[in-house]
Amino acid sequence: MPELPEVETIKNELLPHVIGRCITGIDLCWDGIVRYPSPDEFRNRLLGQTITWLTRRGKYLIFSLTSTGFLIIHLKMSGSLLLKTTTALDERFVRAIIYLDNETAILFRDPRKFGRMWLVPDTGEIASKLGPEPLSPAFTPELLAQLLQNRSAPVKALLLDQARIAGIGNMYADEALFASRIHPLRPGESLSPEEIAHLHQAIQKVLRAGIKNKGASIENYFRPDGAPGTAHFEFQVAHHRGQTCPVCGTPLQRIVVRNRGTYLCPNCQS
Ligand SMILES: [Zn+2]
């Protein structure tokens, strides 16, 4: 699933191609991709709008429009946004196409069909459900301590809770917990101030590395030009099934935390 670094990369790489562009057409190849309003209303209201800005919040992409609010996109499990010239649109699994006035189109490709789009007058409803951005100045070790205190849930589950911290998913949670030597099943409230400081630093480090390497292409993630990211080449444990710990050589373990496959080193992480 695209996480913060993947969505940030998509945002950065789409931005120069979409800002100031007018939406000249919309094909909905699968109506179910529009969550709000109705597909017809979505199409009618989006047509003729100019994209004035593009930003990211958590794992959401937010396109600001001239007069009808915001187009919000969540890529969920397998979505990607591909930028193509209008003469090269023969991609598989395309659920929607947004045509721009520069002879390019944004293809919403999504093999598993979990991705969604919304057209809303303001972003409050989505933004108010999300916790702080982990790379923002507001995200301090003290804030992380508050988010974990009095919580008996596994620390990994707390890191994945978007209402607590926005943007961290399965891969980067495993990487951050490995880098800070914390076992994913530790109750949030059991972490010492020193462990919280390490975890805070590790979260920012793995997310920044993910952005620098343009995201991790383990499954269906592609950048807007169709190229893969390279962040997964630096992963130490995430998706390293059947491999050994790069630090101590112990075979890595795969456990399930709240239905999510989780990789850890049973020797380094406690
Ligand atoms: Zn180890």
Q: Which two tokens stand for residue 263?
A: 């990789």
Catalytic residue from among 76, 151, 212, 260: 260
Q: Tell how far the Cα of 176 is from the centroid of ligand 1, in angstroms.
A: 14
- Sign, CA dihedral 84-87-93-98, equals positive
Catalytic residue from among 21, 43, 56, 59: 59
Three-state DSSP at 211 gives helix
First to last CA, the chain: 27
* C-alpha of 55 from chain center: 13
What is the per-residue pLDDT across 7-50, written as a single tens digit (0 to 9) for each? 999 999 999 999 999 999 999 999 999 999 999 999 999 999 99
Q: What pLDDT shows up at residue 168?
A: 98
Enclosing H/E stretch for 120: strand 116-120
Catalytic residue from among 2, 134, 154, 184: 2
Q: Which two tokens stand for residue 159?
A: 């890191």
**Which residue from 192, 182, 195, 206 is spatially nearest to 257, judged by alpha carbons?**
182
Contact 148, 158 (CB under 8 A): yes
Largest CA distance in the chain: 58
Bridge partners for 64 per DSSP: 53, 70
Average per-residue pLDDT for the chain? 96
Q: Tell how far the Cα of 269 is from the centroid of ligand 1, in angstroms.
A: 7
**Which residue from 84, 67, 77, 164 is spatially nearest to 116, judged by alpha carbons?**
77
Active-site residue flag, 92: no
What is the per-residue pLDDT across 47-62, written as a single tens digit (0 to 9) for each? 999 999 999 999 999 9
Sheet holding 104-109, edge to edge: 23-28, 94-100, 104-109, 80-85
Q: Which amino acid is at 136?
A: S
Q: Tell how far the Cα of 69 is from the centroid of ligand 1, in angstroms.
A: 49
Angle separating helix axes 193-212 and 141-148, nearest 10 degrees: 110
Active-site residue flag, 59: yes
CA distance 106 to 29: 13
Q: What angle do CA 5, 217, 160 make, to 5 degrees?
A: 45
Q: Tell how far the Cα of 243 is from the centroid of ligand 1, in angstroms.
A: 11
Contact 169, 114 (CB under 8 A): no
Active-site residue flag, 39: no
CA distance 257 to 183: 11
193: cis peptide before it, omega within 30°?
no
Q: Is the pTM of this model over 0.85?
A: yes
CA distance 153 to 103: 50
Q: Tell how far the Cα of 56 is from the centroid of ligand 1, in angstroms.
A: 34
Q: What pLDDT shows up at residue 90?
A: 80
Q: Tell how far the Cα of 77 is from the centroid of ligand 1, in angstroms.
A: 29
Three-state DSSP at 265 gives coil
Instruction: Work out the pLDDT band at 89, boundaries 50, 70, 90.
Output: confident
Active-site residue flag, 129: no
What is the per-residue pLDDT across 181-214, written as a single tens digit (0 to 9) for each? 999 999 999 999 999 999 999 999 999 999 999 9
Contact 142, 129 (CB under 8 A): no
